[in-house]
Structure 1
Amino acid sequence: MGQGDAPERTRRALAAAFDPVFYRTVYDDIARTGSDPLRHYAGTGWREGRDPAPWFSAAAYLSRYPEAAGGDPFLHYLDRGWRQGCEPAPSAHRERFLERIGARPHAVGAGPQAAPRAPDADLPAGLGRKAARELAATGFDAAYYLSAWPDVAAAGQDPLDHFLQTGWREGRDPSPDFSAADYLEVNPDVAAAGVNPFLHWLAAGRAEGRPLRFELGFRGRIVARLTPLEERVAAAAR
């Protein structure tokens, strides 16, 4: 990729990693004025020391890596910081953000026992059991499920029924294209609601344009490029 591609590459990296929901939630003036979160952050937000995502503290990053001063610390991390081994710290607004979207319920007034859940509490609103099974069948991969979870095959259970009843609670994925853990991580309100993540995606998440996973790219690339410990030890010995 040539030098001329750098600004566009940087813009795309920022757009992919920036969290507009977080920005709008923790900065009341953005929600009040209706400003576009990404445009505001790129224009003035980073200069005001605002955080772009719940996992990134601009102040902490600048404190750890003063060489990033003079520009957007988030862009520094996205462009080269992660390659250099720089480690971000969570935003100071992270807990408030999770509380506001319902991922961290307040303890005030909570009794010693949790309130009993309704029988269909794991289903998206307005979806009955029969409709939920029919919906899940449109994206469920039975062959994959039986291959990935041989105990289900050995027990002679219907794979779709197993997934809907207990499998999703055990963290089992319904197809190779859907990771329940990833979906719940990027959509903490779904996790807090205790709804089957696959059904939520099919019934509402897909139409709402919700992401299936954190599309940050660099995290996966960092891990993928790490040399295994055994190879590093052997290289050191040589």
Structure 2
Amino acid sequence: MARNRRGVTPAAAGVQPDGAAAILAERGRTLERVQALAREHAGLRRVAHDAQLREALTRTELSLALFEAAAGRAEAEARLRAQALSAWRRLARVRPSRRHNRPSKALDRFLARLGSLGQALVIARSGVWRGEGRALHDLRHMAAYARRGARSDVAPAALFSQAAYLSAYPDVAAARVAPLVHYLVRGGFEGRAPASFFQPAWYASRHAHALAATGLSPLEHYVRAGAREGASPHPLFDVGHYLAQGVELAPDDDPLSHYLREGWRRGLSPGPLFDPAWYAAQVGARVGSEPGPPLLHYLDQGWRDGVSPHPLFDARWYRETYPDVEAAGVDPLTHYLLEPPEHFRRPGPWFDAEAYATARGEDRPAGLNLLIDYLLGGAWKARDFGPGSSAAVYLARRPELARTGVTPLEHWARQGRA
């Protein structure tokens, strides 16, 4: 019997030759199973990795699809605004214009001194009175208005706020003419505002050539021509935005009058940065019932109380951040919209204007307010701009935004900015 190096035979060591072979065979089978398991594990890892890649690709494709859907919606809304504005321009009935030259203005001054009938003729000549289209009937109503004088509780049938005019210009009460007549004869040419919802300096800057050619006051030009051309009477009132909400106007109507008369009751928004539901929620039941149109409430009182017209515009924060607002004599949102975009003023602590402009790149329209550009579709083109994460990540987590058109930052603000 063979001995090992120590002279001990396998039998003496208690190991039979056949048992050693069996152990070796078992070790071989175990090694094969281990190797098979290792290969299987590696295969499973590859499958898991491939699945993760596919999931990542799917998420990327979903995010891209959501972005394309949101961008497509924004483009469709832009077309709708343009079509609504174009349709209104075709429908609107153009009123005969006039050259309000020096003799014409002298005649108005003469008529204004002839009492209520003469003042009624001044109003009739201007074309700003919204009557029933019956000349004598409307003239009697104009004369009745003129006889009431400078009473703050009188509301003429025109785009003219008598109470606001008297409050802003105390000297009018001593002028011995009805406030609307004062505006038509003098105030309009002195840059006075006929109402808080009509900003004459802004309107005149946009229609300087037409005003110079006709000699009309800003309000008369708006009533006779500007409204029919789709002109906006105030930075906060965007005609295309307003009409795109399904507004149907008569040929002799105008968008601003429609809003003041009934549009606000339907919850329509006067502009992209004025959300009536958001505004009403801040001031409670007062807006939408007794105080009338939310836009007027904001312009007359709301901004002084720090009420914000949109989730992304903080009126109180803006006034505290930019001290020059107080000296401008306008509300914070109007001040913000009148600022050149390249000043990168922020509407609140959440919208970083400069960061957005950088993310938006050279594709953003020149001269357009940055926040308005963001709300009207720029959000889907500046994908790395958003509340704490990229807009793509935010949209992937909330795909319903692609359907509603609410931008990521606006959605975040509406949720309490948590």
Q: Normalising TM by the smaller chain, what interval?
A: 0.3 to 0.5
Which protein has greater RCO, CA pairs closer than 8 Å, 6+ apart? 1
If the length of structure 1 is used for normalisation, what is the TM-score?
0.39
If the length of structure 2 is used for normalisation, what is the TM-score?
0.24
